[in-house]
Structure 1
Amino acid sequence: MFVPAFPHSTSPTTTVIAVPPALSLPVIETDFPRQLHPYWPRLQEKTRSWLLEKRLMPADKVEEYADGLCYTDLMAGYYIGAPDEVLQAIADYSAWFFVWDDRHDRDVIHRRATAWRQLRFQLHTALDSPRDHLHHRDPLVAGFADSMVRLYSFLGKKWNARFACHFHAVIEAYDREFHNRTRGIVPTVEEYLELRRLTFAHRIWTDLLEPSARHEIPAGVREHPGYRRAALLSQEFAAWYNDLCSLPKEIAGDEVHNLGISLIHHEGLTLEEAVTEVRRRVEECIAEFLVAEKEAVHLADGLADGTRAGHELSDAVKACVANMRNWFSTVYWFHHESGRYRVDSWDDRSTPPYVNNEAAGEK
């Protein structure tokens, strides 16, 4: 089945890709129109330069793979309406996150427990005092610090503290993944779902909706059942669709963290049955989101109480909810455009070609 990836693209040509039937979601293709931030072409260029400047990827890897990995496309399809400088900071941070994920994977594969433990503590420290780590000898720590200085500049201290709290939890979740993978422990389905919400950084990407909307969302609104549920479902969709698409890659790499793998290992499902179950959960997320989205929009309408502050908050909440919807389409297309998931084209199915082992500290 061929579908247009950018039916309304800003690029001079329209990209057409094939979506495998097992991964095709017609409801996303028809009911979740894809959008792209108009800053995207510049975003792609500047993130590519940032990766080079911060030495997060070697020049040859950036030249050959950076654009094809589509990291900026993912963010440009999500944070619609964000000021250019906010979107740039988010896109650079997102690119850093993928590089960090790859470093974590290499540390696991090569059993570098000491290196991982050191990086873990350095990231915790840099998260709380990023300006002190801008010139750290490890490019991954320095790049993270640069991202944090920029992200912390957009809203207030309360938002910064909340973001930091959420990312500290993400770092610790990655440590639990390191422990599981090096010991061959496949988490149960419930254990995995809880861990996945952290390693996929559900709260982080939701937090970043706020600087994109130029407004910090009060706790009372964030904790409203409609808003909270819509935010969670958008992220659950992304995490589980990622599991569906990356299952071959992760089986090839002896991964233990995938909903499908947990279902096979602990529930006794066959591979085919596990794929069917993950897909069912993905489709359920979409249906439930449509209900929660209406509740969240209704909440936003009620915030417009005739005051300027009420009107601004109402608009900000609507912008956040609209971008939760955008997350569905941008995640969907990212998985079919990004070279990150083209495992069948790799020389070694367990080693991504864009990963530089020497840069990750291997000898």
Structure 2
Amino acid sequence: MPVFSHSTSSTTTAAAIPPTLSLPVIEAAFPRRLHPYWPRLQERTRSWLLEKHLMPTDKVEEYADDLCYTDLMAGYYLGAPDEVLQAIADYSAWFFVWDDRHDRDVVHGRPAAWRRLRSRLHWALDSPRDHLHHPDPLVAGLADSMVRLYSFLGRRWNARFARHFHAVIEAYDREFHNRTNGIVPKVEEYLELRRLTFAHWIWSDLLEPSAGQELPTAVRKHPAYRRAALLSQEFAAWYNDLCSLPKELAGNEVHNLGISLVRHEGLTLEEAIREVRRRVEQCVLEFLSVEKEALRFADSLEDGTVRGKKLGDAVRACVGNMRNWFSSVYWFHHESGRYMVDSWDDRSTPPYVNNETAGEK
């Protein structure tokens, strides 16, 4: 049977999930839904990748749909206006391409190329209109994404998003340093870095344009709301670590919770896998508890005014989409070709990357 009614696969059977990665609580308690705009979203993001030259034509045609990048976003930001979801999905696809470029710069020993890209991304983030026609497609693609994302809410939200993404770029630089020097971060150091390289607060920021309203600082920093947001992202990052461990071991990676546990806590690989899984499951259980508090907080915002009603509705929409992130992330990891390392000719080289020329412009 299909995982959900608007199946994103050419087949009608759900993905087979290995026992070590299976989470019955997700399958039972987090029904998967998909934004009705998804078919157009997939088509337009595919066209955007081609238009912006972010992936070679043959790679887009062969791999783009099977990578399921649009499925991930269409299962997360439900209720978003179509143009908001499209901008988010394009940005998300850009993010994956950037992550691949970063990886290839490490693998091929291109520190100068990485430093140039890092600086240009900072500039494009702050002044995107000045970089729309930059010769490096990654810079121009980020600029295009930012012009669109910055158009939905106000200056304060834009400044917050930029601040959060500047920190992500710098975290990628720290990861570049660690990988090129073979440094495996200690567990707590890794967890702190992971919150940035996974862009926890970026994806949480994007809940707001999806809900059509910027949330006041006091609302975003309310303990229940902030904890629910963090748990949804921690689940995603750690489950990603669990699923991508074979790929990252094959690629001599150093950034994975399992790898840190083996190196610094003395665990065997099997023990590390069990520990990462335990942490993932704990995130789910704790979210189910704090979600109730966050929804009660949303109800408390309704003070009989129009503003209070809109604010309560916006918080409920954001918390609802935090919940959607669990199922979307879960199924993405079992449907996307990004993690099907056993099907690659070379387990250390993803077939969808432009392995030779990326970063050379």
- Answer whether TM exceeds 0.5 for this pair: yes
RMSD: 1.2
The equivalent of 1:8 in structure 2 is 5
* 1:292 CA displacement: 1.0
Residue of structure 2 in register with 1:320 after alignment: 318
- Which of 27, 30, 44 matches 1:29? 27
SS of aligned partner of 1:22: coil
* 1:357 Cα deviation from its structure 2 partner: 2.1
Please say if 1:57 is aligned against 2:55: yes
> 1:358 deviation in Å?
3.6
Equivalent in the alignment of 2:193:
195
Check whether the contact 1:10–1:38 (CA below 8 A) recurs between aligned residues: no
Identity within the alignment, %:
80
- Equivalent residue of 1:18, what SS? coil
Q: 1:206 aligns with which of 190, 204, 207?
A: 204
How many residue pairs match? The answer is 360
Which whole-Å deviations, capped at 9, do the CAs of 1:69-97 have from their partners, x for residues lacking one? 00000000000000000000000000000
TM normalised by structure 1 equals 0.98
**Paired residues of 2:114 and 2:359 also in contact (CA < 8 A):** no
Q: Distance in 2 between matches of 1:224 and 1:292?
A: 12
Distance in 2 (CA, whole Å) between partners of 1:156 and 1:192 is 33
Structure 2 residue aligned with 1:344? 342
Letter of the structure 2 residue corresponding to residue 143 of structure 1: G
Whole-angstrom CA distance in 1 between matches of 2:357 and 2:162: 27
Task: Work out the CA distance in 2 between the residues paired with 1:108 and 1:142.
Answer: 22
- Which runs of structure 2 are paired with 1:136-155 in the superposition (5 Å)? 136-155=134-153
Given that 1:264 and 1:271 are in contact with CA atoms closer than 8 Å, whether structure 2 keeps it comes out as: yes
Q: Residue 188 of structure 1 aligns to which amino acid in structure 2?
A: K
Q: Which amino acid aligns with 2:92?
A: S
2:331 is matched with: 333
1:319 & 1:299 partners in 2: Cα distance?
A: 13
CA shift in 2, pair 1:240/1:157, >3 Å:
same
Provide the secondary structure at the position in 2 that maps to 1:6. coil
Q: What does residue 236 of structure 1 align with? A: 234
Instruction: Indicate if the aligned counterparts of 2:113 and 2:360 stay in contact, CA closer than 8 A.
Output: no
1:358/1:286 Cα in 2 relative to 1: closer, same or farther (>3 Å)?
Answer: same
Give, in whole Å, the separation in 2 of the partners of 1:359 and 1:214: 40
Give SS of 1:168's match: helix
Map 1:348-363 → 2, pairs under 5 A = 348-361=346-359
Alignment of 1:1-363 (within 5 A): 4=1, 6-9=3-6, 14-361=12-359
Counterparts of 2:82 and 2:37, CA distance in 1: 7
Q: Alpha-carbon deviations, 1:33-92, whole Å to 9, x = none?
A: 001000000000000000000000000000000000000000000000000000000000
**Unaligned stretches of 5+ residues in structure 2:** none
Provide the rounded CA distance (Å) in 2 between the counterparts of 1:15 and 1:300: 38
Read off the aligned partner of 1:336 and give its amino acid letter: H
Q: Is the 8 A contact 1:134 1:145 kept in 2?
A: yes
Task: Say if 2:76 and 2:321, in contact at 8 Å, map to a contact too.
Answer: yes
Aligned with 1:193: secondary structure?
helix
1:230-259 deviations in whole A, cap 9, x for unaligned? 000000000000000000000000000000
In the alignment, the residues of structure 1 paired with residue 12 and residue 313 of structure 2 have an alpha-carbon distance, to the nearest angstrom, of 32
Deviation at 1:13? 6.0
Question: Residue by residue, what CA displacement relative to the aligned partner does 1:194-245 show, whole Å, maximum 9, x if unpaired?
Answer: 0000000000000000000000011001000000000000000000000000
Hey, what's the Cα distance between the residues in 1 that align with 2:256 and 2:7?
A: 35
CA distance in 1, matches of 2:204, 2:359: 32
For residues 256 and 46 of structure 1, the distance between their equivalents in structure 2, rounded to whole angstroms, comes to: 35
**Contact 2:30–2:324 (CA<8 Å) still a contact in 1?**
yes
SS at match of 2:133: coil
Q: Do the aligned partners of 1:5 and 1:333 also contact (CA within 8 Å) in 2?
A: no
Q: CA deviation at 1:291?
A: 1.1
Partners of 1:195 and 1:74 in 2: CA distance: 23
Local SS of the residue matching 2:15: strand
Distance (whole Å) between structure 2 residues aligned to residue 68 and residue 15 of structure 1: 15
What is the alpha-carbon distance in structure 1 between the residues aligned to residue 149 and residue 126 of structure 2? 13
After TM superposition, the structure 1 stretch with the greater mean CA deviation from structure 2, 9-18 or 185-194, is 9-18
Describe the shift of the 1:255–1:232 C-alpha distance in structure 2 as closer, same or farther (beyond 3 A): same
Deviation at 1:16, TM superposition (A): 2.1
For residue 6 of structure 1, report the CA deviation from its aligned partner: 2.3
Secondary structure of 1:23 counterpart: coil
Q: 1:124, 1:171 within 8 Å by CA — same for their partners in 2?
A: yes
Q: AA paired with 2:194? A: R
- Residue 8 of structure 1 aligns to which amino acid in structure 2? S
Distance 1:9 1:102 in 2: 29
Q: Give the unaligned 5+ runs of structure 1.
A: none
Q: Distance in 2 between matches of 1:301 and 1:9?
A: 31
Could you tell me how far 1:15 is from its partner in structure 2? 3.7
